[in-house]
Each structure stands twice: as structure tokens, then as C-alpha cells.
A and B are shown apart, each in its own frame.
Chain A
Amino acid sequence: MATKIKIIPWLIVLLVLVTWLSLGQGSTPVSVWVGLLDWLNSVPSNAALIIGEIRLPRTLLALAVGAALGMSGAALQGLLRNPLAEPGLVGASQGAALGAATVFYFGLFASAGALAVTIAGLLGAIVALLLMLGLSGSGRPSLVILAGLAISTIAGAALAVVLNFAPNPYAMQELVFWLLGSVSNRGLDSLFVLVPALVIGGVIIWTQRSLLAALSLGEQVATSMGMAVNQGSRLVVLGTAILVGASVSVAGNIGFVGLLVPHLLRPFTAYRPDQLLIPSALAGAVLVCTADIFVRLLPFGQELKLGVLTSLLGAPLFIWLVLRESKRWP
């Protein structure tokens, strides 16, 4: 394509930087190098334990969740030709939340241990996705948004019922805290779910980048240029749902990342939806990891949940974006 995009190297530099900062951030001062080398060489030191078992999983999870949310936001906004679309619209995040909540309520998948919530979340996302694809019929982008909203609403209502009838206050508290979104105390196991999902969802979306570019000029133009619009739209939604479902089932709701990241990057990618995917994944990773560093820096007794921080910071930015959009497209 005509315009050359040069932002990716800068984002990779930022990614390395925040990864290093995140590994170094915590209540106990530890050398990141020493900890990493000890952990890799299986040396049983405190530094290895802190870096390898606590901070590394947390950092990698933050990066993976951010990448998944950033890329899915870029894909969905491109598909729906709507700068205000966000990954929650496909229903997968509410489905994942409902699945996870059901585990808290009924104690399912006890044998899976800490991964029980993740597995249930993923199942919830898949069920929501199947219902949404069934409801959206032909797969036209405009129908996808309506079907996603319907499934989201139903899953949200069911989640409220689960909360309403929580067996005890502790289960409810645990559930609510989980829903608020966090990447702490998840363990490396969660990455075994999230990384394959990130790769599969990312590749599915990446194969449809030409469709996203063509849809810039509308469905008619895209179809006339030989694009399989309905089939491709379903694939983009499938990829998005895999990314969102997996990240919500691992980390709960991390709001506004999928909405804001593509917005902030669009001017640096010549506003081209096909060129926005990789930069959004990288920037999403940087943003969530940075937010997680801030969470650890805040001087509160109890750690502020990551999802709460992203929402607190994201909401004013969102309002600014809405105002800016309303001026641009009168």
C-alpha cells in the first residue's frame, strides 16, 4: 500500500522498556537480571522466585491481555466502520464473565484448580459467540453489532442473577473482585490458555486484513472488489471473540483498552484499518502493562484493580474522543 507505516519499531522499543520496568516493580527490590538468570538456570534463590514465579507471569499476562484487547478493538472498529465500536460488543466478554461466575457459584471444574475460572470463562465466551453468530444470520457487519449487543445483554442479565443469588458474601466478593479485572496472582498456567488464543485469534484476524481495508469504502465496494464480505466478517468476529473471551476469562474485565488503543494509533497508521492491527496489539500490550505498573505504585493498602484503573483513565479519554468525533463528522 501507498503510505509507509513506521510506528512498529517504536512500539517494540516501548514494549521492551515497560516489560523491564514491570519486572523490576514490586515491594521487594530485586535485580531483574539476576532473578531472570537464576530462574532460567533453576537456581533456588529469592530473586528467581520473585521474578520467575510472581513478576514474570504477571508481566507476560498483562502484555498478552493488552495485545488481545488492542488487536480485537482494531479489528472490530475496522469491520463495523465505527470508531466507537469496542470488543465487548461481540458478546464474548459478558459470556466469559458469566462462565467464570458460574464456576464461582457452583464450584465446577474443581479438578482444574486455579485454571477452573479460565476454562469456564473460555467456554462461556464460546457459547456466547456461537449464539451471536447464529443470531447474526448472514454475517453482515451491521447485523453482527445488533446480535452481539443482544447476547451481551442476555449474558449480563444472567450474570446479575448469579450475583443476586450468590451462596455467600465471600463468593460474591470473590466474584466481584475477579470481574473488576487484574493480572496479579494468576500464575504461568493462565498463559497456556491465553497465548494459543492470542495466536489463533490474531492469525484469523490477520488473514482478513484486506477485507478490513476494503470495508473502508463500504460493503458494496468491498464486494465489488472480490471480497467475501459475509464470510470474512464472521471470521473477524470469531477471531475477536477468541481474543476477548480468552483475555476476560484469564484477567476479568479490563475496560476501554480495546476502544482507546486503535483510536490513539490511527493517526500514526495513516487511518488504514489493515495497518492498525499489529500496532494496536503492541500498544495494547504496552498500555495494560504500564497500567499494571501504576497499580503496583499506588499507595493504597489494598491494590487497586487493573480494570478499575483502565476504566478510570479511559472514561475521560473516551468522552474527549466522542467530542472530537462529533466535530469531525458533522
Chain B
Amino acid sequence: MALISTHSLGVDSRVIDLSIELHRGEMLGLIGPNGAGKSTFLHSLVGLEEYTGGVDSEGESLNLYSRNKRARLIGLQPQTISSAWPISVKDVVTLGRLPWGDSDELAVNEAMRLAGVEGFSDRKVDQLSGGERARVWLARVLAGKPQVLLADEPVANLDIHFQLSVMDVLRHYATQQHGVIVALHDLSLAARYCDKLCLLKEGECVALGSPSDVLTESLLESVYGVAVEVDLNRMPPVVLPK
């Protein structure tokens, strides 16, 4: 049974009739041009957007979930986060325990270890580099131990080292019998890390399947409007505009 599945999910005209399934151990990539509905879809799953249609987790409708139960099931790393106060890294990560109403030291330390931020846990978030901060935000979500982790463009504005570091963390989390849905602009990273891809255009799913099914030159050209070179046999795979 799918860890999470949506049935004809719609958010006014921004997401239209979207049905996907995510199983434990899988990493699903959402790709598509700006304004395709990637963030809106992720937001609808955590209750930030009202939606039509249905969302189930292992056969049970999310409508039956309390706010807290939903937050324990699904964790979101939004596209942009900022801390209003210069709080410490450890305190930020501990905030991730709010859905559980505790400050489970073990879960917090494990999340910091997974995200590789335990080395600077006492530093203030406003003193970190962009790459370090991105991993702190990720550690905050990991501390809540969500069954489904949603990450909205988690590697935007990061250098290649931190891009791989963040994607490795997400991939590792998926393999631990969780589910990960990640919105990405970098199609090479999507090909390299994701088991399944959903290509969105103007709120509609144009293609859904394995990277080799979705990342075809003709499909990408029709969606993005530019010629694209695809070589999925290389390691790492390459998907670049011509």
C-alpha cells in the first residue's frame, strides 16, 4: 500500500487533477518550469493550501488526521526559510520536535548527525553560510522523523558540494523506509537521485514514471521550450540545455 497517494488533487487552477503514489523507500522528484505547481502541490500535502480531491496515507484519508498527526506524518522544508531570531543550530533542530510536543535529545542528535550539522550545533543560525544553513533547515525536518519528507527546492542557491550533500541526506532518508518528495530545477540531480519523476506544466502532470520515461529530449523540449541534451547512461547522468 502506498505510503502516500493523491487522487485527482486540485488547488484552484494551480494544480489540476494530480494523482501520484509514493511508496516507502522511494524518492519522487517534482520537476517542471517555474509556476508549474510544484510548491503548491507540496503545500497542499501539509495543509498550507486548501485542495479538492483526496490524499491518503496507507489507505487512510488525511482528512481524518488531526493537525499534529498530519505534521508527524509529513514534514516540509519550504523553499525559503529564515529565522527571525539568532537562535542556535541545536535550538532550531529541536523546533522540529514540536509536532511531538517533546524535545527528544536522541532524535535531535540523530537529525544533526544525518544532516552533518553536529559540528556547529552551538553556533547561531545567522552566523552560518548558506550551505550550512540549508542543512540546518533540513535537520529541523529530520528531527520530527516524518514518514514523508517534502523538500521544496532544497538545493537552490547552493554550490555543487552542498547540493550533493543535501541530496545525499534526502536519498539516505528515503532508503530508511521513509518517502521523500523533492521539487527540483536541476534535472541532472533529479535523474541521479530520484526513483520516480513527475513532470508538471501549468499545474498538470505531463509525465509520471522512472527518470528514463520522463526525461526524454522531446518531452522536455515541449515542456520547457528549449532543446535539451539527455544522457542517462553516463554516471552521473546528464540533462542539460543544448
Give A residues with C-beta under 8 Å from B.
Answer: 1-3, 81-82, 210, 213-218, 220-221, 223-228, 266, 270-273, 328
Contact = CB atoms under 8 A, between A and B. Distances in A.
A266 B78 CA distance: 27
Contacts of B90: 2-3
Contacts of B75: 224
Contacts of B137: 217
Given A223-B47, A270-B87, A216 B67 contact: no
B98 A2 contact: no
A40 B32 CA distance: 76
Contact of B71 (A224, A266, A273): A224
B67 A2 contact: no
B46 interface: yes
B135 interface: no
Given A221-B95, A224-B76, A272-B87, 17 more contacts: A1-B94, A1-B103, A2-B103, A2-B108, A210-B101, A217-B140, A218-B78, A220-B43, A220-B48, A221-B140, A223-B46, A224-B48, A224-B71, A225-B95, A226-B68, A226-B99, A266-B85
B70 interface: yes
Nearest to B105: A2
B144 A271 contact: no
A271 B125 CA distance: 11
A81 B94 contact: no
Contacts of A224: 46-48, 71, 74-76, 78
A2 B71 contact: no
A214 B95 contact: yes
Contacts of A213: 95, 98
B88 interface: yes
A253 B50 CA distance: 43
Nearest to A275: B91
Interface string B120-154: 00001010000000000100100010000000000
B86 interface: yes
Interface of B: 43, 46-48, 66-72, 74-76, 78, 81-88, 90-96, 98-99, 101, 103, 108, 124, 126, 137, 140, 144
A89 B128 CA distance: 33
Contact of A217 (B46, B83, B103): B83
Contacts of A270: 87-88, 91
A272 B103 CA distance: 14
A328 B48 contact: no
A226 B140 contact: no
A228 B87 contact: no
10 contacts: A1-B103, A2-B108, A210-B98, A216-B92, A221-B81, A223-B48, A224-B48, A226-B98, A272-B87, A273-B84
In the complex, the 8 A-B pairs of residues with the closest C-beta atoms, listed nearest first: A226-B71, A81-B84, A271-B85, A224-B76, A224-B46, A2-B90, A226-B68, A226-B67
Contacts of A210: 98, 101
B70 A226 contact: yes
A95 to B, nearest CB: 27
Contact of A3 (B70, B78, B88, B140): B88
Given A225-B71, A328-B126, A217 B48 contact: no
Contacts of B46: 223-224
Nearest to B72: A226
B126 A214 contact: no
A225 B87 contact: no
